[in-house]
């Protein structure tokens, strides 16, 4: 059985020869830099034929855009500079009610960025975002078919979109979002509806043009305990994400709901959303539920993905990794499961121990995942 068949069989509830093994963001999400570092390439080469790719795919955007809508080039300005091995970016957006800006930083050798200043510092900034006119952006899905053909038997392409809550939180930063939600819930829901329309139409266009696959939807974790109660989760996430999953199902696609943290008390909402899969189901103490407990709540059909804490790859021993892989596989039994880390390292150069631990993770998945 090849990797494409293996993953599709898991999502369809059919038998597989072994549990699929994922390298998560190593498959597609790090393409802009991963091939420049031999230690990463060594892992990718070792993984060939041993892991199963859910390869991140994004369409080509053929128009200047922001927030999943078109924007005039004159209304957005980007400034970049380098300072003390740090790369800074300031983006200014002109809206009908005035300018807003955000400032981010990326450190040398770390392939992610940190937001120094968020777009929305106050209510007036939020109102400026809401004043932006909505013109659906133009997308080109031709790369979907090209990359799908190139990927072949090695796995499947995976779309990746935020939900409305995810985009709202990104405007404020998480702590400021929580304070704004307490003091100004009406503005927060206006923003959620603002983004929901744009995300929904964007996803619909992808599906209408044939990009039918599994989509990862991110954002629910911002409304999970202990930050917010299950009741608030049902207000901020459930009805909006359910619309996205129903849209996916209408076109024959599937969805994977991504939520870190403590999800035990919102798993029943996952059922209401009609998910096909969820990740990363973090083990205790980062999460608050075992795979066995999650399976009992979610039933036998939903695909569970993840459970190997990324921290183990960085600081754990080979025995720690082997024990975690073995435990995860034993807990799910013969139910639909994809072994996957909760995240992947993104520093360069990659420490030798981490490289060896990732290779050991692959070996353990093959050893214990045979069915």
Residue 220 belongs to domain spanning: 3-70+132-368
> Does residue 344 sit in the same domain as residue 236?
yes
> Does residue 252 sit in the same domain as residue 275?
yes
Domain final residue, candidates 120, 140, 159? 120
> Does residue 64 sit in the same domain as residue 89?
no
**DSSP three-state, residue 339:** strand
> Does residue 59 sit in the same domain as residue 77?
no
Helix residue ranges, H only, the chain: 3-12, 38-47, 123-130, 142-151, 164-172, 174-183, 185-208, 230-236, 238-250, 267-273, 291-298, 310-315, 318-332, 352-368
> Does residue 270 sit in the same domain as residue 204?
yes
- In terms of Cβ atoms closer than 10 Å to its own Cβ (0-12, 13-18, 19+), residue 5 is middle
What separation, in Å, do the N-terminal and C-terminal C-alpha atoms of the chain show? 12
Query: Quick check: is 125 in a domain?
Result: no
pTM: 0.95
> Does residue 242 sit in the same domain as residue 296?
yes
> Does residue 113 sit in the same domain as residue 251?
no
Query: Quick check: is 127 in a domain?
Result: no
Query: Quick check: is 200 in a domain?
Result: yes
Query: Quick check: is 190 in a domain?
Result: yes
Domain final residue, candidates 120, 151, 183? 120
Question: Which whole-number Å values give the CA distances from 74 to 63, 180, 222, in the listed order?
Answer: 13, 30, 33
> Does residue 281 sit in the same domain as residue 224?
yes
> Does residue 195 sit in the same domain as residue 211?
yes
Query: Quick check: is 305 in a domain?
Result: yes
Query: Quick check: is 169 in a domain?
Result: yes
Query: Quick check: is 85 in a domain?
Result: yes
- Report how many domains make up the chain: 2
> Does residue 210 sit in the same domain as residue 253?
yes
Question: Which whole-number Å values give the CA distances from 71 to 99, 148, 282, in the listed order?
Answer: 14, 30, 38
Query: Quick check: is 126 in a domain?
Result: no
> Does residue 174 sit in the same domain as residue 264?
yes
Q: What is the pLDDT along the chain (371 residues), one digit of tens a residue?
A: 999 999 999 999 999 999 999 999 999 999 999 999 999 999 999 999 999 999 999 999 988 999 999 999 999 999 999 999 999 999 999 999 999 999 999 999 989 898 999 999 999 999 999 999 999 998 999 999 999 999 999 999 999 999 999 999 999 999 999 999 999 999 999 999 999 999 999 999 999 999 999 999 999 999 999 999 999 999 999 999 999 999 999 999 999 999 999 999 999 999 999 999 999 999 999 999 999 999 999 999 999 999 999 999 999 999 999 999 999 999 999 999 999 999 999 999 999 999 999 999 999 999 999 98
> Does residue 98 sit in the same domain as residue 247?
no
- What does the alpha-carbon distance between residue 74 and residue 94 come to, in Å, rounded to a whole number? 8
């Amino acid at each position: 059985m090849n990797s494409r068949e293996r993953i599709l069989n898991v999502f369809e509830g059919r038998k597989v020869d072994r549990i699929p093994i994922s390298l998560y963001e190593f498959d597609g999400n790090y393409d802009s830099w991963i091939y420049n570092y031999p230690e990463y390439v060594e892992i990718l080469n070792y993984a060939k034929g041993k892991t199963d790719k859910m390869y991140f795919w994004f369409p080509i955007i053929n128009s200047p855009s922001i927030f999943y809508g078109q924007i005039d080039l004159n209304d957005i300005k980007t400034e970049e500079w380098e300072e003390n091995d740090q790369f800074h970016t300031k983006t200014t957006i002109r809206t009908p009610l005035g300018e807003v800006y955000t400032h981010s930083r990326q450190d040398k050798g770390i392939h992610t960025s940190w937001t120094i200043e968020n777009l929305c510092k106050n209510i007036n900034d939020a109102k400026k975002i809401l004043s932006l006119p909505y013109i659906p952006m133009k997308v080109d899905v031709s790369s979907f078919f090209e990359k799908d053909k190139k990927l072949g038997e090695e796995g499947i392409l995976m779309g990746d979109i935020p939900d409305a809550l995810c985009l709202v939180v990104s405007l404020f930063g998480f702590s400021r979002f929580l304070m704004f939600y307490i003091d100004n819930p009406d503005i927060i829901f206006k923003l959620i509806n603002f983004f929901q329309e744009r995300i929904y139409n964007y996803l619909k266009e992808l599906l209408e043009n044939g990009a039918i696959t599994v989509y990862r939807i991110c954002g629910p974790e911002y409304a999970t305990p202990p930050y917010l109660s299950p009741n608030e989760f049902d207000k901020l996430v459930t009805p909006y994400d359910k619309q996205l999953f129903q849209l996916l199902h209408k076109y024959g696609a599937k969805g994977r709901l991504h939520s870190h943290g403590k999800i035990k008390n919102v798993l029943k909402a996952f059922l209401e959303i009609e998910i096909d899969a969820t990740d990363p189901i973090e083990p205790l103490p980062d999460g608050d539920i075992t795979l066995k407990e999650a399976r009992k709540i979610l039933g036998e059909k939903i695909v569970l993905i993840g459970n190997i804490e990324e921290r183990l790859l960085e600081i754990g021993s080979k025995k720690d990794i082997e024990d975690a892989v073995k435990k995860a596989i034993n807990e799910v039994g013969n139910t639909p499961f994809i072994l996957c880390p909760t995240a992947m390292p993104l520093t360069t150069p990659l420490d030798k121990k981490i490289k060896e631990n990732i290779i050991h993770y692959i070996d353990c998945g093959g050893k214990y995942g045979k069915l």
